[in-house]
Amino acid sequence: MKTIVKTLMIIVAVGTLISCKSTFNASEAMDVPDNRNAVYQEIISNPNQFNEFIDLAQQDEGARKLMMQSHMQMMESGKMKAMMQKNPGMKEKMKSHMEKMMDDPEMKEKMHKMMQERLDRNPEMKKKMKEKMMKDPAMKEAMMEEMHSKMKSNPEMAEKMMDKMIQFLHENPELMEKMKAKMKAHQEKM
């Protein structure tokens, strides 16, 4: 009888221990605002965890899109510039993450489209950006190479660009004269 009681006591004790085992459910934990904020604070306060989180987010298509939209909004609002002035290390990290994103051809194309849409909506920004890019010889060279590559791969686009350029030159006679002079000088060198 004592053996049976001891056996039952052990079974009850083991059963109790097993039933007390807690299970973690991430979505339930994140439903509680205090838990969610605590998780966010833990991630952002630890640089290694934050970098790991960003790397994981970049692997998810939806998260990448959200990060890009947020990034573009911050750039437009001027918050990004202020943040980077306060934290030069952040500037380097952002540059590194942008380079990673630009290595992905699909992401690069999306970035170009988003930027083009924003520039089309804001002509002043477009003008400033063009001026800045034209002052940088390396940037100018890269733009020319990309434009030539696109023109070779898409003859229709090349023809449209030529038409637009000719129209632009006719609308700006002083620019037309400068271009003629450059072409003449170039021919004389040959």
Distances (CA, A) of 29 to 22, 23, 33, 114: 13, 11, 9, 35
Q: Are 118 and 76 in contact (CB under 8 A)?
A: yes
Distances (CA, A) of 182 to 46, 75, 93, 185: 57, 37, 42, 5
Q: What's the mean pLDDT in 7-29?
A: 70
pLDDT > 70: what percent of the chain? 79
Q: Are 48 and 55 in contact (CB under 8 A)?
A: no
Residue 134 makes CB contacts below 8 A (sequence gap 6+) with 140
| CB-side neighbour CA atoms (13 Å) of 57 | 14
Segment holding 101, helix H or strand E: helix 88-103
Average predicted confidence (pLDDT) for the chain: 76
pLDDT beyond 60 at 21: no
**DSSP tag of 78:** T
Report the pLDDT value the prediction gives residue 131, as an integer from 0 to 100.
77
pLDDT beyond 70 at 171: yes
pLDDT beyond 70 at 19: no
Map out the domains of the chain as residue ranges.
Answer: 153-190
Helices (H), the chain: 2-19, 26-31, 33-45, 47-58, 61-77, 79-86, 88-103, 105-121, 123-135, 137-153, 155-171, 173-189
Instruction: Quote the longest CA-to-CA distance of the chain.
Output: 116
Report the pLDDT value the prediction gives residue 17, as an integer from 0 to 100.
61
Residue whose tokens read 């450059």: 182
pTM over 0.75: no
Report the pLDDT value the prediction gives residue 144, as an integer from 0 to 100.
75
Report the pLDDT value the prediction gives residue 101, as an integer from 0 to 100.
66
Report the pLDDT value the prediction gives residue 76, as an integer from 0 to 100.
64
